[in-house]
Amino acid sequence: MASQIVFKEKDYEFIYKTRAIQLQQTTDNPLRLDRPKVTIQRGRKANVQIRTKGNFVDPLSRAATQKAQTNPLSRPQTVDPLARPSAQPTQKIEQSQPQAQARSVEPNKPQQQQQQQEGKLEIDAEEKQLKATGEFSIYWSEIRDDFQNIFQIKTYDLEQPVPNPFGSNVQTMNQFDGQAKSAYSGDSKIEYQTQAPKQGTSKMIQQKTYIQKVLDIRRDLKRQWINGDKVASLQLAIQSCKLLIDNDKPLFAPVKYVYIIDILETFGKFVIERLLKLSYPQYTDQKIAEISLQSVVGSNISETASEIGRNWINKIGSIRELLPRLYIEATLLKVYYFIDQTQIKPIFQRLIKQVRAIGDYINALYFALYLFRIGAELFSGEKDYLISTLKDFFIYMNQKNKFGKLDVQGDQYLRLFEPYLIQTFRQYSQNCTEREFKDIFEHFRQSTQNHFVLKKMIEQFQAVHISTLALELFSIMQAYPVDNKYQLYACFLPKIAKGLTNVAAGAEICEYVLQDILQIKSFSLFLEILASLIELIFRSFQGYQKNQFFFLILQRFNDLFSMVEKDQVNTNQSKDTFIKLHQFIIKIFQDSQDISEILQIDTFITCIQFFPEDMKKLVCNDLLSMIINRDQKEKITDPMAVHSIVKLTANLNNKKSITKDEQKGLAKIINQLLQKIDFGKDLEQTLNLYAEMRGQFGNISGLSEILIDRALDLIFRGKRLSKGKNQKKIISFYQACIAYSFITIPTIDNPISRLRKYIQVAQVGLSLNLLSQSEAVIKTTIENLLELPETFNGRPIDEIVVPYILDLISFIIVVPDDPSAGYLNIFQGLLKALEQLKWNPKNGGIHSIVIYVNCIQYLCAQVQERLPYHFENVKSNDALFNKDSQFSLTILELVQQLYVKLGEQAQAILKSNITDSIENGLIVKQMLSCLNRLLLLLKFNKEAETTFAIMVDLIHKKINELNRDRTGKVQLTILKAYFLQTFINIEKSTTFNFEEKKNQMVNILESAKN
């Protein structure tokens, strides 16, 4: 190994003098030369030039004979936010400022807060403008976003003090010692780090002010370039790079780095665009922006572009400071495409090596990061330079006594290099082969194996690469402290879950991780690692082993939560924990191929019960939605899983505060869940589930209707399974279904829905030949008629209930009566209920007439030798009382009673004063229908003649009333044919004499037509 070279002090002096002679340089910095004084001393016609070896003219020098131009560093006077506002000249401001030992006065806090807010708004506005315009290349934008996200620059504490490299104020030419404008003045620029602040100025400024000054430099650079002063733009770029040298505040280095590199990006873009326009003068700006530098060839490059390019390169030699010279050279590296493209790679490699010459390691790696941005654009396939700087970084990390700064040490200092590590691994991972990944891992293995570096490596490389060395990486993690190990689990486990093909290796890793997490006492950390472990568990285990894993995990959570006091549940920290637990549970469901396996875990439901009420509803709703939205063919058959679903659903039903809309939504969810549940041939298990649902959700009326329909459907499923055989066991099941439905109906809020369900259940019961149960339901239906309200949804109840009463009358035709209870006991009970029903005074009479006519029709059906229809295996009244004379007499008596009731109702309508044409038209139409039906059903007798006379008088009256207005005449015209046919039927079937009234009514009908 070569011995280390040691330079003595005399050696440094010799090298310095030799270099100065060779380059014909003075000890003065040409960038700091006081050119205005030199120009004034030698006269306005003097030609001040500084030459270097090779007879190159100093590009920053100006001939005094040139026309005076605006100072490139000058800009409109701005008020120093740290100085007191005053209209006096700068000199007076400095005199009036307090001395260092003077007692300071605390500024007004509201005003200070306003100034701070204004500064942040200005910086935010600049950021938004950059995002909107897309001014930077994708290569720098990617790195820039890393800085923004890592160091939270947008929300950075910009009130912290940093050294002031700018002086008191930005001085203009008129403020510089009263001298007149000259061609160029170095002293009129901002006083940067190379010169200490003047006496009386603040040595520290806020970071907000610092950034605002840098943004001002960028604006000045753009303005000078647009005005044609390219040299002034270069000077501003150089001066901005000088700001990077001082890192007395290391935590501020990333912040200022972002905004200073923005300046270099803008400057480099201007230079290249100018050279492209000179080489392609025929192209538009848009087409110029689309040109790739790799496509630039010698035949397209104009001599002017080449000469200007060489001029830019020559200007680099005038920069004395190392760091600014390296940054400017890297920024202008693409200029070699217009000079000699073969020089690009050697120069780039030299710049990579020169990273080692930068003493401050923050500056060194940040400069390397800038080179990576250039390398990504110019040498996208090469990775050697990435490994080179990474090895240097590892060597530097080994020097523990030098790794860090006075006030920043350890992980806090290492975090400053996070953007560098991210970009290194990100570029290296692009099109990375397995061999290349193993090489970089070997370099890491030979380093200090820092957990932070390993974390960034795992995050940036693809899962397939991490999985190839999963066990090796995991063994390294086991040597880390517990906290560091847990951080790595969060990024390592999801990676290997996606790319690991060795199931045995995955199972081994899961076993070790489980042992670690069962020792965790922090909710947040516990859940963070769990979210990463789930997918690997699903890929590494099946069946019982997998469920056992989840059982242990959830049991540990329950143990952790049981140690938390109740008053700590609603704290912000607890809410964050529950959010992570929510995500964990959702992750389990998403990755599970069979959710029944998860629902069978005992501790699963217990875990959900720990959530606060509002979050518990959200979690349950999400889980139930995931169950519903899975493949429709996937059915849930396990009773334990179904029981868990019922408990999840019950958490959504707060009986005290649930709203109507929430009830509808919950009923819909439960209905969809019931479609997913299938116990196969075990119908009793299904009925038990419905009973459990009724107990949990009896307050949801809409669900009660759904459960009744499903219970009745079970009956017909049972008939299909039994193939129509009425075995004792299946009959008992039928009875249980009818009883379940009968008991559930009262939980329905809607009275009409209750009436409809009663009739439906009675019909199903009779179809099964369950006579006693069907009769009980019918009697309850009749009793329910008397409990109906007078109105429903703003309508009279009789208008709504008439169709259901007619349906009930049609149904009880085939319902056999109990001989021990008397003839037609069900029908007679219905008649009594109709008498007590609260009919609407307006049109209740006509509705009752319609019902009574249907009752007569029922009685006429009962006297037939065979009823018009039957239920299978049900013996109706035609079979029970076919030759019973007493049965026939009872029917005749009831018919006579109904005739009387018809007459009473018709007489009541006749006496009423109804003038509405629509109502009168309805009355006439219903009366004509009733007359025709009665003529078909019964023979004409004395009682019938009385009723007929009243009904004809009623029709005659209503015709007269309808003929009085246009609407009534239209209705008469429509019903004319119906009238005439009814008159013919009356004449054929009766001896009733109504010739006079018939003629009058015919005349009215004719007049209505005209």
| % of the chain with per-residue pLDDT over 90 | 33
pLDDT tens track for 643-666: 989 999 998 888 878 888 889 999
pLDDT in the model for residue 118: 60
Does the pLDDT value for residue 212 go beyond 80?
Answer: yes
Taking alpha carbons only, the member of 822, 821, 850, 814 closest to residue 834 is: 850
Q: Give the integer Cα–Cα distance in Å for 234 and 271.
A: 10
Taking alpha carbons only, the member of 610, 552, 551, 542 closest to residue 581 is: 610
Bin 167: left if φ > 0, else alpha if -120 < ψ < 50, else beta. left
pLDDT tens track for 528-562: 787 778 788 888 887 778 778 888 888 887 787 77
Q: Give the integer Cα–Cα distance in Å for 390 and 488.
A: 21
Cα atoms in the Cβ-side hemisphere of radius 13 Å centred on 150: 24
pLDDT tens track for 410-432: 888 899 999 999 999 999 999 99
187-215 average pLDDT score: 62
Q: Give the integer Cα–Cα distance in Å for 257 and 235.
A: 18
pLDDT in the model for residue 25: 43
Bin 404: left if φ > 0, else alpha if -120 < ψ < 50, else beta. left
Asked if residues 241 and 193 have their Cβ atoms less than 8 Å apart, the reply is no
pLDDT tens track for 274-284: 999 888 888 88
Three-state DSSP string of 718-761: HHHHHCCCCCHHHHHHHHHHHHHHHHHHHHCCCHHHHHHHHHHH
Q: Give the integer Cα–Cα distance in Å for 788 and 785.
A: 6
Name the pLDDT band for 120 (thresholds 50, 70, 90). Answer: low
pLDDT tens track for 446-491: 998 999 999 999 999 999 999 999 999 999 999 998 888 988 998 9
pLDDT in the model for residue 57: 41
Does the pLDDT value for residue 527 go beyond 80?
Answer: no
* 82 or 135: which leads in pLDDT: 135
Q: Give the integer Cα–Cα distance in Å for 992 and 931.
A: 13
pLDDT tens track for 352-400: 999 999 988 999 999 999 999 999 999 988 999 999 999 999 998 888 6
Q: Residue ranges of the domains in the chain?
A: 116-171+186-375, 381-461, 466-541
pLDDT in the model for residue 564: 60
Which whole-number Å values give the CA distances from 917 to 790, 922, 958, 965, 977, in the listed order?
24, 9, 9, 8, 19
pLDDT tens track for 560-572: 777 665 544 555 5
Does the pLDDT value for residue 864 go beyond 70?
Answer: yes
pLDDT in the model for residue 117: 59
What's the token pair of residue 998? Answer: 């018939």
pLDDT tens track for 682-733: 899 999 999 999 999 988 988 999 999 999 999 999 888 887 666 788 899 9
Does the pLDDT value for residue 996 go beyond 60?
Answer: yes
Does the pLDDT value for residue 20 go beyond 60?
Answer: no
Contacts of residue 186, Cβ cutoff 8 Å, sequence gap at least 6: 31, 32, 33, 34, 35, 36
Q: Give the integer Cα–Cα distance in Å for 601 and 354.
A: 62
811-835 average pLDDT score: 89
